[in-house]
Amino acid sequence: MKYLIYSNTGLTSKQLGLTAEIIENLRGSGNQLMLVLCDNVLDNCYFNRVHNVLGCASCQSRMLTLLKQGGLRKEEIHRLKRYPEAYSAPLPPFRSMDDLYGFSFEGINVGRGVASSVISYTRDFDLIQEPYLGLIKVELHKSINVLLNFRDIFKSYQPDELYLFNGRFAEVFPVMELARAVNLPFYTLESGAGNNYEMFRNHLPHSIASREKSMHLLWEATDAEERVGVGSRWFEMKRSGDESIEPSFTRHQDQERLPDDYQPARRNIALLNSSQDEQMAVPEWKTPLYEFQNEAIRQILNHFRDRNDLHFYLRIHPNLGTVDNIQMREIRKMSFPNLTIIPPDSKISTYKLIDACEKVITFGSSTGIEAAFWGRPSILYGRAFYENLGSVYRPDSFDALVALIDYPDLPPLSRDGALVYGHYMSRFGRQTTHFQFRGLRGSTYKGKRIRLMYSVGLLLVFRYLRRTGLWLKLHRLYYGKGFSLRSLIRYK
């Protein structure tokens, strides 16, 4: 077998350590490996969006040192090249996000990956405006350059399988799309539960269908009593703020606190939104019910604005705490007589609110399935990994949603599907053998701590200084201000 691995960054210890782990796993009798490195060719990447040359040197020194510990040989390393035609390629005017999502170069979509990167950088999703158009241009030229590289690599190396991380960003997405076009099997890799990692065959990690299939396979492969206990503990750990499996957004909340205007005699309904930017560029998450969550929320509030018996609590997701995008600006302008807005940094308990409300409406966040586990009628108005597990209501129209909201005695659905979800979130993925993730500074490979930079990085700094002009240019473009001493350690 001939394996091709694209390792596009070494700035995240998790991606770096898992790449070394994958190399060791693929190494076998008769197998051939080729690993593709950036070597300062990418104008930027998700983890170093301004082309900080110190960051580039750290990235590549970590990559070269650790991957050799994983068994990679010098002759198995291929470095990206710079194709002048990628940077002179004509770009059309983008008049809508659909124009950007659909933009292809020589038959391969590159626009969707670019949109995903810029949305993630800016936490905004209306990119057809200044200054975002400048960012889009940088990302498109970079993405086209990556595409041209891999077209040549595919032809010369003719791999049997391709390995990528995540897959949705501008420097990786076109490689995945090219693999689809030539029927090359590929795996996207992503973090799993705890220290695990997961491999998604011919899918993005964000695929609802792929995740749903994996949930059921894992559930069926586990002892009946054990899986129920594991699934239940996931929800209990989430509620307690335990971060041993995944980060908690609620551990700083006061678990007994409700809004000051809460009145138990009213029919109280929780609206729990999510970060609109997180899945905007993933087609499978698009819903025909609305384009943006705020549209759906306004539609609900307008319909019931004269109902004094109903009161809505819009709990803004804590992940939106430092965000100033169109989603948050629109929410701040919302004013309805029966609406209370709970800010993302509020100490009010999300779980106490779920318990105290008649029903819960979500738009894709995990709180929808959590509400179902805790015995609340839970309505999912959108898409989610848990949508087909049978524990949440899924109205297929606004009229159907209104009917569910208006029904005062709506019963909670079975929590059996919630247990499947909790079990999966606790266990999914493969265990690592050599790599232990403990953050940027504490992670180890084969018992040795992964350093922030290795000695070869000092040589790389001098070699990469020739692109300092790009660093200064991108710094102003991405941050909107000039260079300072702090910029020396700023990557993203």
**pLDDT tens-place string over residues 46-89:** 999 999 999 999 999 999 999 888 888 999 999 999 999 999 99
Task: Specify whether 261 is located in the same domain as 139.
Answer: no
Helix (H, G, I), strand (E, B) or coil at 177: helix
440: pLDDT strictly greater than 90: no
- 64 in any annotated domain: yes
Token pair, residue 24, equals 């060791």
- Closest residue by Cα to residue 341 from 367, 322, 313, 320: 313
Helix (H, G, I), strand (E, B) or coil at 438: coil
5: pLDDT strictly greater than 90: yes
99: pLDDT strictly greater than 80: yes
DSSP H helices, 27-131, are 53-69, 84-87, 97-101, 111-122
27: pLDDT strictly greater than 80: yes
- List, edge to edge, every strand of the sheet that includes 161-165: 77-79, 32-37, 2-6, 161-165, 186-191, 197-201
- Boundary of a domain, candidates 418, 438, 459: 418
CA distances from 67 to 17, 73, 177, 278, 309 (A): 8, 9, 26, 31, 63
423: pLDDT strictly greater than 90: yes
Task: Check residues 126 and 35 and name the one with the higher pLDDT.
Answer: 35
Contacts of 80 by beta carbon, 8 Å cutoff, 6+ apart: 36, 37, 38, 39, 41, 42, 145, 146, 149
For 131-182, write each residue's pLDDT tens digit.
899 999 999 999 999 999 999 999 999 999 999 999 999 999 999 999 999 9
466: pLDDT strictly greater than 90: yes
Q: What is the pLDDT of residue 491?
A: 75
Instruction: Provide the number of structural domains found in the chain.
Output: 2
Token pair, residue 163, equals 């390995």
- Boundary of a domain, candidates 384, 418, 452: 418
Helix (H, G, I), strand (E, B) or coil at 423: helix
- 132 in any annotated domain: yes
245: pLDDT strictly greater than 80: no
Peptide bond preceding 343 in cis form (omega within 30 of 0): no
Task: Specify whether 40 is located in the same domain as 78.
Answer: yes
DSSP H helices, 313-366, are 326-333, 350-356
Domain hosting residue 481, numbered range: 2-196+430-489
Task: Specify whether 407 is located in the same domain as 445.
Answer: no
Q: What is the pLDDT of residue 472?
A: 93
- Boundary of a domain, candidates 418, 450, 480: 418
Task: Specify whether 101 is located in the same domain as 189.
Answer: yes
Helix (H, G, I), strand (E, B) or coil at 430: strand
212: pLDDT strictly greater than 80: yes
Backbone angles phi and psi of 458, in degrees to 5 = -65, -40
- 269 in any annotated domain: yes
Task: Specify whether 160 is located in the same domain as 281.
Answer: no
Q: What percent of the chain has pLDDT over 90?
A: 84
Task: Specify whether 30 is located in the same domain as 124.
Answer: yes
Task: Specify whether 359 is located in the same domain as 282.
Answer: yes
- 328 in any annotated domain: yes
CATH number at residue 408: 3.40.50.2000
Mean pLDDT of the chain: 94
Q: What is the pLDDT of residue 68?
A: 87
- 80 in any annotated domain: yes
Q: Residue 243 — pLDDT band, cuts 50, 70, 90?
A: confident
Mean pLDDT of 294-307: 97
Task: Specify whether 446 is located in the same domain as 412.
Answer: no
What's the length of the chain? 492
- 377 in any annotated domain: yes
b/e for 37-62, b at 16 or more Cβ within 10 A? bbbbbbbbbbbbbbbbbbbbbbbbbb
Helix (H, G, I), strand (E, B) or coil at 167: coil
Cα(177)–Cα(311) distance, rounded to whole angstroms? 46
Q: What is the pLDDT of residue 248?
A: 86
Task: Specify whether 443 is located in the same domain as 409.
Answer: no
| Helices 456-464, 53-69: inter-axial angle, 10-degree rounding | 140
290: pLDDT strictly greater than 90: yes
Cα(159)–Cα(476) distance, rounded to whole angstroms? 40
239: pLDDT strictly greater than 90: yes
Mean pLDDT of 425-442: 92
Q: Residue 359 — pLDDT band, cuts 50, 70, 90?
A: very high
Task: Specify whether 264 is located in the same domain as 367.
Answer: yes
- 239 in any annotated domain: no
Task: Specify whether 164 is located in the same domain as 276.
Answer: no
Q: What is the DSSP string of 245-291?
A: SS--SSTTSBTT---TT--TTSEEEEEE---GGGGTT-GGG--TT-S
Task: Specify whether 375 is located in the same domain as 443.
Answer: no
Cα(377)–Cα(401) distance, rounded to whole angstroms? 13
- 178 in any annotated domain: yes
